[in-house]
Amino acid sequence: MVASKTVLEFTDAATTKLLEVLDEQDAEGQYLRIAVVTTPHGGVDYQFGLEESPSESDRVIEGTVKVLIDDESAPLLEGSSIDYVEGFERSGFVISNPNFSSGCACGGGGCGCGGGGGH
């Protein structure tokens, strides 16, 4: 387990929403696991989950929301920012990742990546 604070950042809106989700799931004090999985078409999917404790190979980001990132995902997330955006038709987490050219949004229980950037 490696303590890290620089892999990714959360906006205030994302932190607030994550704390709400943790409360709704009765998961206060648990870790948010974030993993990056590459797709067969060269894209990426972001997977989120909850865990009670880190494994030996995890990077741990201690903050208002405690985050676990596996060793393979850490370099793919380096420098990323996670925001939460509420819109008229869609709300969800938006990941700005300088390591990939497309913007990715997560919401409704899953994550998806599409063309375009900016978020």
Q: How many Å is the Cα radius of gyration of the chain? A: 14
Whether 112 contacts 45, CB under 8 Å: yes
Residue 7 pLDDT > 60: yes
pLDDT digit string, tens, across residues 27-80? 988 999 999 998 888 788 999 999 999 999 999 998 899 999 999 999 999 999
Q: How does residue 107 score in pLDDT terms, banded at 50, 70 and 90?
A: very low
Q: How far is CA 112 from CA 1, 11, 26, 91, in A?
A: 28, 20, 26, 13
For the chain, give every domain's residue range. 2-111
| CATH code assigned to 2-111 | 2.60.300.12
Bridge-partner residues for 56, per DSSP?
none
pLDDT digit string, tens, across residues 64-79? 999 999 999 999 999 9
62: closest CA among 27, 108, 110, 29?
29
